[in-house]
Structure 1
Amino acid sequence: MHTRKLSLIAIACSAALQFTAPQAIAADASQVVGVVTNVNSSKLFAGAKIDIQELGISVYADKEGRFRIPRIAPGTYTVEIDYLGTEPSTQTIVVGDDITNVTLLVGAANDTIEELLVRGQRSGQATAINKQRMADGITSVVSSDAIGQFPDQNAAESLQRLPGLSIERDQGEGRFVGIRGIDPNLNNVTINGLNIPSPEGGVRSVALDVIPSELISSLTVSKSVTSDMDADTIGGNIEVKSVSAFDRATDSASFTAQLSQNELRDALSPKLAGSVTHKINDKWGIAAALSYFDREFGSDNIESNGDDEIEQRHYSITRERLGGAVNIDFRPDFNNQYYLRTLYSRFSDSEFRQANVFVFDGDDSEVERESKDRFEEQSILSISAGAEHERDAWTISYQAGYSRSDEDEPDALYYVFTGADAGIDGDLEQRIPQLTVPEALNDLGNYELDQMSFERNNAKDTELSFRLDIARRVDWLSSEGEMKFGSKYRAREKNAAANISIFDGGFDGFDNATFATASPEYTLGNFGPGLNRGALRDNFNQQRSRLELAELDSRIESQGNSFSNDEDIFAAYAMTRFDWEKLRLVAGLRYESTSYSTAGSQVSLTENEDTDSVDLTIEPVNASRDYDNLFPSINVRYAFSEKLIGRAAFTQTLSRPSFEDAAAFQIIEANVRTEDGEQVIEREASVGNPELLPYEADNFDLMLEYYPGSIGVLSAGLFHKRIDNFIVEANVAGTGPWEGFEEAFQPVNGEEATLTGLELSWVKSFNNGLLFSVNSTFSDSDALTILDGERFETKLPNQSDTVGNVVVGYENDSLSLRLSMTYKSDNLEEIDDGMLRIEDDHQQIDFVAKYYINNDMQVYFNGINLGDEPMYHYFDERNRNAQFEQYGRTFEIGFIWRTQ
């Protein structure tokens, strides 16, 4: 990496790529190509193992159930097909002089197990386990068969069931995915091979709740990467694959209708989804999917600053999600494939938040009643086109892609009403703080309108990419293998624009009592009078022309929160893949060159109390930096037996700073006054840091996987990560350019962090219909930051020591039941005013029941968050509230029609 000498392992990888011994496979060798399916051709079996018994060679079916044996002499051979979940079967094939196309069969025509493998929980388990078994590295998979077996609304929630994975929630719904307890910002997400930009203004992490689960063909999490994958994957790489006609053995169609109800906000929410795949002929295929969900829900919240402030919040939200995908494939023959992949998802929230803010300061205590009325829309568009060609011993693939994510908040409206202290009292030393509020403060007529603000905010993130991969099959040391090299170029632009108008006058004549409504249903105490959303909006529209604009505050907020970033990444790699009987080695070296630039504003506000003057200056700030990195990777797979597989990996990866952390913006406030004849200047600042270095990680992995032969796997793995330059927000006042500042908050690089963990998983399906799955990941981290000579030793931010899942299920040919529990231990969020802000552990229980009316139709019932688990954050000690938010239980009933 750019701050280190090239390691010995990197040198060894580079030398391995320069050997001269390999010989290309003869161009005139015969080939066998084919597909693995069942007797009635209703399912493709991805990950099936194909053994040519006379030759002692094995290949695996790919993600579409297809396989290729590149060099084989003409003749008659016995093939054994091994797919976990069925008994091995044998078949005779006859190989001709050129290309032989065969169909290999799994299972028996009337086998009940086969039927369950096509549609039930066993299908999801079997597909995922077989794909995991065939993988070069350490991976976890969620197949399309498994996605429908849980009450998951989006891609994030579908991933939380995998070993080592957890999610961060917003309003009770999963959004961001963490791998092995690591911050979601340190993952890479691709859809159909494209890197997906983030809709949100300053982050890199992709909120996967914008992708409906109905659009997904598979989700693959790579915990150890290979050199042909992007290097920005300290946590791991999440690959989302949308539906394709060639994923299915036959034409298929599905339709889902659902109603859900959240008990906290008693309203019915509809959902409709459908998909269709159609092979027009042997060469052309089209797949399309559409999903719509209109959900009404909310939450009750109470939070504090850990010292002298308590805030009650009541949320009412209408969340609408619309997603669609259209994919076209053209395959004129087995050696040439062309594709077009499109995915569009739109996610919107219409939110009304009411809040009461209580500040305790003796006779100067304050009370505020606030409202937030906003509509926010996020969208993701992904378009990619590419091809793959087989030419004798060569495989050439290429892809061009365009991705766009944006977030639009067109007309957010905020009100703040203030009231005088009338004897308020509160206790913050509880999970749910207690308040004493005099009756006078429950009358909105006793408040004054203090401030209004109107915001129009927008963020846009676009990426254009090109990729070329070339592979050549070779022989080396009596082994058949592959040499692969390629390059990728990504041009990314991220913009955040804020247009904020703050009004602090012109409120004379307002009758605040006309905005009051009955107290909202609030489960965490006495909330007092509510605010009328429609009346507040109408009042602003009618009175806007007479309101007094706080011009300086408006400009500060607008300019200070606007910035643009450009990032160009060029990558090139070379790698090898060889199999020696039981041993598979995948080794390579990747080079990435990053060019980053950012533009923003320095907003400086100086208030001079002596001259009673205010001075505002706004100046452009620009910065840029370039850096290069080399990333060696080694993945080793060793089959001790047919059932026991060992894996080991060493990789070097990075994660680039978030766009907000590295943005060129500075907000500086100064107060000038005279005390005892001397001039006193107090300065505070909030600034980005374009000089941030990327996280850099050495990753070590060991894994043992035992496949007992039925649908099941028992695995145990150790991992260790050494991370340099991790990023934390710190008060850098008194250092460098911030000498003389009272406060100056800026993201900075820490020194070094380590993460060590153990990952355990057991998945088992029993012949009596019972299914069982349990996984846990235990980790420990240490992070060191040195600021102004002072050492701070903490854990990695947003890293959980323990994450786990337990699933118990039962199914037969007409009924499918599943009870699941997910757990995530507490984690450090940030250091807030000298206190550690901790997110408490979270445990959620969900239930699914399905009844199969016939082979094509089913009804289902889902129970989500049955234990009514809240989200809770605290300061330093568990009884010191930072935030307590309750979501209630959600119940769903639905109908599915599916044919294939």
Structure 2
Amino acid sequence: MPSGSVSIIRFAARLMGGAALSTIVLAAAPVLAQSAASVVTGRVTQADNGALLSGATVTIVETGDSSVTDDQGRYRFGAVPAGGYTVRVDYIGLPSRTVRVDTAAGDIITQDVELGEAGGDVIMVMGQRAAQAKALSEQRSADNTRNVVSADQAGRFPDFNAAEALRRVPGVSVQREVDAGEGRYISIRGLDSGLNNTKINGMNAAQPEKENRRVPLDMIQTSALASITVHKTLLPDQDADGIGGAVVLETATAFDYRKRVIDLTVAGYYHDLANELQPQLQATVATRFGADDRFGILVSGAWSKRKTKGFVFYQDEDYLSYSEDDPSSGVTPLQYHLTEYENERETISANVALNWAATDTTQFTFKGSFNRLFDKELSRALYFEGGTDEYDDDGQLILTEPGTANIFNQYEETELTQQAYVLSGKTQTGAFTFDYGIGYSTAKREEPFDNEVAFTKELESNLFDYDVSGRFPVPNLSAADRAAIADPDGYELGYNDIDIDTSKEQRYAANLDIVYEPASSWLRSIKAGVKFERAKRTLNEGNVMELSGPLTLDRFGTGRLVDTGVVGAPYAPYLSLDIANVKDWRNYAQGLIDANPDDFVNEYVEDGAIPLDEDSYTSREDSYSGYVMGKASWGDVELIGGLRIDHTRVTADVYEAIALEDADPVFDRVKGKANYTSVLPRLQLNYRASQNFVVRGAFYTSIARPEPLYIAGATEIEEEDGEVDVTVGNPGLKPAYAYNFDLSVERYFGSIGLISGGVFYKKIDRFIFSGTAPETEGDRERFENDPRLAGKVIDDVITYTNGKSAEIYGIELNVVRQFPRLPGALGGLGVYANATFQHSKADTGIDGVARGDFFNAPEKIVTAALTYQKYGIESTLAYSWRDRQAVRFSSYNTRIVEEPYGSLDGQIRYAITPKLKAFVNAVDILNNGKDPIVDERYGAGSRYLEGATYTGRTITFGINASF
């Protein structure tokens, strides 16, 4: 057996042995103490409608021991000494209630509790107030710092997907997709989305992206979710990764409801620039059945189609300086694009949940989640390209070469799928609780069509002279240039390309957690667990078509004119291509090759075969983790702490690509390996001065794993002018390691309210920007002694290394208030607002890059909303704003900066009957299409445009019926 496999088995054995030992030690607690203890359990519901209340705090007054109700409203005390006790139940928005419980040795006491009075409560009703009460109750009772968006709250926000819903959470900002304009990724406290840990129903979500660890949340519709939780601090029983935080998406089960549920929503989607109405459907059915309702099934689904239209103006290559490597001489774009896009998206979400209460103490749950986003995008562009990117002998940009105008169209189809299937169980016996489960998650990104076709024409101007005084860069064109651009005659085939890309990740996981509740005056629980997870990633890239030959635009065919004046851009209408031929470019081009093989050639094909792409790879990442943690309480003080150990092993099959001047390119499969172990202490201290006043402090450590390609990436050996350059992966690369500190103060109000403030600080060692790793000199001796390179001059040998350090610190403020005591109609008013102010600096270790802001880390994020709920009306008017943020590096190590952006969104819902409601949602109400939703600049506040996206407002309206 290979030594690596032996090491894995030994490590796993140690983890399992540690958990087994913990179990034995816990089980060896005094038997007499166990026999003298009893179990107190029950369910908390709302009297008015029987709704199960999760997040309620249940306290035994005499001992101070407390429990929190789960999604099914259940609470449990596993080791209560015999005697008489007062049990108090607290839930935000409802008056507290106390009940008397008498226990005897070995008893199992069931005590259900109803809160409120049927028909007598003013505050707690179904709708957004109920959602806020649930969210705040869960936050208040939690062991760590977290923010919760409940099912009703998410569904009633005018948001299309999980990313958009989360932008209302303190400390969360959204990174929008450039073309469609929808939120795709989220940043928590200024850290890249790839530094978050994202789970679906407790299973780490597989990532479909090619070369990063980001999970796109725009494919997950909010209607498919029961709750979204953002964990700002991590406990030992949470995964090792998550420097930014942990995002947990949960779908519902039938056991979450007291009654049968049938819910149906029919809606229409309208985007004002696309000017077309599209359908949306959502449905949920849930019921319990069997003897004593021990079985449950829930099925939900959502389907929507959305058409959007907009414009993107951007420069597609790095800026050039007029004097070589001296940007102070001024810069100019090599290419500048004017682009109209039409985007059609179809989203499907389907969820199933099966429950089985096998006994009174054992329950099994299966959850399956399927999400699919199918995106079709057509772009019609005109782009200008400067005459050359070469410099003369004096280091000055050559300005004597004529530039070109290029009519460029692209048709792309992308399919993203995300699936998660989890089987979990819970068994409670005496003072012990066993949680166990297995899970599978897979994600895939397929691009079956990515057709790019451009026709080009030479102009008089060099196209390096732009007027950048306004919002839109304007090339200075002669009258002859403008006439040439508008005339289809003279355009010849220029750039064209068809790529086929497929990336896929599969994750498998198994876990066992054991909780022991001793009959102790201060030690509330001891918890231990182990987990195994395997992630397999595959990237297949293929270059299918690059046609060369004498094809003219007149022969290919033109499409309609594109007018950018719709969004106020000062450009003349320009030509576009025949869209049918762009969509069918592969067959069209192959037909030319078949009919005229002497004139037309597919440059990608060699000897009738499509060449390999060295970026393709497969990797496997195995992680073995174990932890021990305890929870203690002394009066108003809670202490939760412990240690987590995580061991990761990475193997990858990649290409070694050798391109020497005197030989044909060679591609060989090679293997790369790496492993590392992380020790993660974590500590959380809570001071509960009263039921509604909590002070939290936390110290925890976390990691961010490097990309597999950095560790075991392709070896690229390339010769140019007799010199060989080598790039190779680094098996010694380590994960980034973060020290995190958090302090917050929270004051809750029974009228569904909260005022809180907190500070946070993160110090990150071995920091690596997502998608960018520092480079260093690799093992030269290895390649100097390579017989294949004998007699060659080895120039640069480059590998990846860890960066240096980074830090981020900030403050979060949050307020939520309802005003039910105001007279008359004013009693329906409510507000919520939050603001985050943060500062970040990173020393990437990349030569020439000064310390600067993290990517996607705005210094200020603000949300303010006015809500109303009364007389059958529910409404929200919310404004969200974020400051400018750096998004990536550009030429001369300049950061591309996205300018500030704000959005006003609204929602109103009216109950026609208690079971039938009409609603209207509006997103970006103030956006008339003439202000960019994405405005990226070459440096903060720069007049040089990197890219800007213009789109319009969207409106969704429909009917919701429940039975």
Is the aligned partner of 1:646 residue 2:676? no
1:385 counterpart residue number = 423
Equivalence for 1:474 = 518
Q: Could you tell me which residue of structure 1 aligns to residue 250 of structure 2?
A: 241
Task: Provide the secondary structure at the position in 2 that maps to 1:147.
Answer: helix
Q: What one-letter code is carried by the residue in structure 1 that aligns with 2:137?
A: N
Matches within 5 A, 1:344-359: 344-359=370-385
Once residues 755 and 741 of structure 1 are traced to their aligned partners in structure 2, the CA distance between those partners, rounded to angstroms, is: 41
User: What corresponds to 2:601 in structure 1?
Assistant: 548
Match among 323, 337, 345 for residue 349 of structure 2: 323
Instruction: Please give the secondary structure, in 2, of the residue aligned with 1:333.
Output: coil
Secondary structure at the residue paired with 1:163?
A: coil
1:531 aligns with one of 558, 574, 577: 577
| CA positional deviation for 1:592 | 0.6
Deviation at 1:188, TM superposition (A): 0.4
Asked whether the equivalents of residues 556 and 603 of structure 1 are also in contact (C-alpha less than 8 Å), the reply is no
1:263 to 261, 272, 276: 272
AA of the residue aligned to 2:425: A
Q: CA deviation at 1:670?
A: 4.5
Provide the rounded CA distance (Å) in 1 between the counterparts of 2:636 and 2:159: 39
Q: 1:403 to 1:497 in 2, by over 3 A?
A: same
In 1, distance between residues paired with 2:424 and 2:351? 17
CA distance in 1, matches of 2:112, 2:613: 63
Q: Which has the higher strand share?
A: 1
Structure 2: state its 5+ residue gaps.
1-18, 320-331, 388-398, 594-599, 785-792, 821-826
Q: What is the number of residues matched between the two proteins?
A: 867
Structure 2 residue aligned with 1:493: 536
- Partner Cα distance (2:184, 2:800) in 1: 24
SS of equivalent residue, structure 1 residue 710: coil
Match of 2:13 in 1: none
Q: Give the aligned partner of residue 447 of structure 1.
A: 491
- Displaced runs of 4+ in structure 1, greater than 6 A? 17-22, 552-557, 683-687, 733-736, 738-746
Is the CA contact 1:426–1:433 (under 8 Å) kept in the aligned structure 2?
A: yes
SS of residue paired to 1:535? helix
Give the drift of 1:757: 1.0
Q: In the aligned structure 2, how far is the partner of 1:685 from the partner of 1:303?
A: 33
Q: Is the 8 A contact 1:733 1:743 kept in 2?
A: no
How far the C-alpha of 1:354 sits from its partner, in A, is: 2.0
> Does the aligned pair in 2 maintain the 1:731–1:744 contact within 8 Å?
no
The 1:691–1:867 alpha-carbon spacing in structure 2 relative to 1, beyond 3 Å, is farther
Q: 1:730 touches 1:745 (CA, 8 Å); kept in 2?
A: no
Kindly indicate whether residue 447 of structure 2 is the aligned counterpart of residue 409 of structure 1: yes
**Which deviations, in whole Å up to 9, do the C-alpha atoms of 1:431-486 show, x marking residues without a partner?**
3222446122122332101243222211110011110111111245x224111111
Q: Which amino acid aligns with 1:39?
A: A
Sort the Cα spacing of 1:631 and 1:753 in 2 relative to 1 into closer, same or farther, 3 A: same
Q: Aligned to 1:190, which of 192, 199, 207?
A: 199
Give the match for residue 817 of structure 1.
875
Q: CA deviation at 1:692?
A: 3.1
The code of the aligned residue for 2:117 comes to A
Residues in 2 aligned to 1:569 and 1:226: alpha-carbon distance in whole angstroms: 18
Aligned residue for 2:313? 302
Query: What residue number does 1:840 align with?
Result: 899
Tell me, yes or no, if the aligned pair for 2:804 and 2:845 is still in contact at 8 Å.
yes
User: How far off its partner does 1:327 sit?
Assistant: 0.5
Take 1:580 and 1:342, find their aligned partners in 2: how far apart are those partners? 41
1:757 to 810, 822, 832: 810
Distance 2:751 2:863 in 1: 21
Q: Which residue of 2 aligns with 1:370?
A: 408
Matched, 1:291 2:302: yes
Q: 1:335 aligns with which of 350, 354, 361?
A: 361
- Structure 1 stretch displaced more, 300-309 or 453-462: 300-309
Q: Is 2:443 the counterpart of 1:434? A: no
* Secondary structure in 2 matching 1:230: coil
Q: Identify which range, 640-649 or 728-737, moves more after superposition.
A: 728-737
Amino acid at match of 1:541: N
Give the whole-Å Cα distance in 2 for the aligned partners of 1:266 and 1:605: 51
Q: Using the alignment, how far apart are the partners of 1:140 and 1:526 within structure 2?
A: 49
Distance 1:558 1:376 in 2: 22
Deviations 1:43-86 (A, max 9, x none): 11112122444555443322331111324466765443321112
- 2:48/2:116 contact within 8 Å kept: no
Alignment partner of 1:129: what SS? Answer: helix
Question: Is 2:935 the counterpart of 1:872?
Answer: yes
Tell me, in whole angstroms, the C-alpha distance in 1 between the residues paired with 2:220 and 2:542: 29
Q: Separation in 2 of the partners of 1:791 and 1:433? A: 27
Distance 1:518 1:876, change over 3 A: closer
Structure 1 SS opposite 2:240: coil
Once the two structures are TM-superposed, the CA of residue 302 in structure 1 deviates from its matched residue by 0.5
CA RMSD of aligned residues (A): 2.8
> 2:74 — aligned with what?
66
- Structure 1 residues 466 and 51, CA gap change in structure 2 (3 angstroms): closer
1:808 corresponds in structure 2 to 866
SS at match of 2:51: coil
Q: Which stretch has the larger CA shift, 731-740 or 70-79?
A: 731-740
CA contact (8 A) 1:444 1:513 kept: no
Tell me: CA distance 1:536–1:743, structure 2 relative to 1, closer, same or farther (3 Å): farther
Alignment of 1:546-695 (within 5 A): 546=593, 547-551=600-604, 558-605=612-659, 615-662=664-711, 664-667=713-716, 670-672=719-721, 691-695=732-736
8 Å contact kept, 1:451–1:502: no
Instruction: Letter of the 1:460 partner, please give it.
Output: K
Q: Which runs of 5 or more structure 1 residues have no equivalent in the other structure? A: 1-13, 608-612, 673-679
Q: 1:394 — aligned with what? A: 432
Quick check: 1:359–1:365 contact (8 Å CA) kept in 2? yes
Q: Where do residues 754-793 of structure 1 align in structure 2 (5 Å cutoff)? A: 754-767=807-820, 768-787=827-846, 792-793=850-851
8 Å contact from structure 1 (residues 467, 488) kept in 2? yes
Q: Which residue of 2 aligns with 1:224?
A: 233
The residue identity in structure 1 corresponding to 2:935 is: Y
Contact 2:197 2:247 in 1 (8 A): yes
Aligned equivalents of 1:689, 1:885: Cα separation in 2: 38
- Say if 1:23 and 1:526 are closer, same or farther in 2 by CA, change over 3 A: farther
**Counterpart residue identity of residue 208, structure 2:** P
Distance in 2, Cα, partners of 1:165 & 1:456 = 34
1: CA distance between counterparts of 2:910 and 2:604? 62
Between the aligned partners of 1:791 and 1:101, the Cα distance in structure 2 is 64
Q: What secondary structure is seen at the aligned counterpart in 2 of 1:873?
A: strand
Give the SS at the match of 2:677: strand
- Matched with 1:168 is 175
Alpha-carbon separation, structure 1, partners of 2:472 and 2:801: 34
Q: 1:301-348 CA distances to partner (integer Å, 9 max, x unpaired)?
A: 001244223111221111010010111010133311111111111111
The SS at the match of 2:851 is: strand
Counterpart-to-counterpart distance in 1, 2:470 and 2:313:
11
Amino acid at match of 2:163: A
> Quick check: 617-626 or 817-826, which moved more?
617-626
Taking a change above 3 Å as real, the CA distance of residues 41 and 34 of structure 1, as seen in their structure-2 partners, is: farther
What is the letter of the counterpart of residue 766 of structure 2? N
**Per-residue deviation, 1:886:** 0.9
- Distance, in Å, in 2 between the alignment partners of 1:561 and 1:592 is 29
Which whole-Å CA distance do the structure 2 matches of 1:398 and 1:636 have between them? 27
Counterparts of 1:460 and 1:364 in 2: how far apart (Å)?
44
**Matched residues in 1 for 2:609 and 2:711: separation?**
22
Q: TM-score, normalised by structure 1?
A: 0.91
Larger mean Cα displacement after TM superposition, 39-48 or 516-525: 516-525
Aligned-pair distance for 1:811? Answer: 1.5
**Partners of 1:400 and 1:72 in 2: CA distance:** 32
In 1, Cα distance between equivalents of 2:581 and 2:274: 21
- Structure 1 residue 202: deviation in Å? 1.4
| Match of residue 329 from structure 2 | none
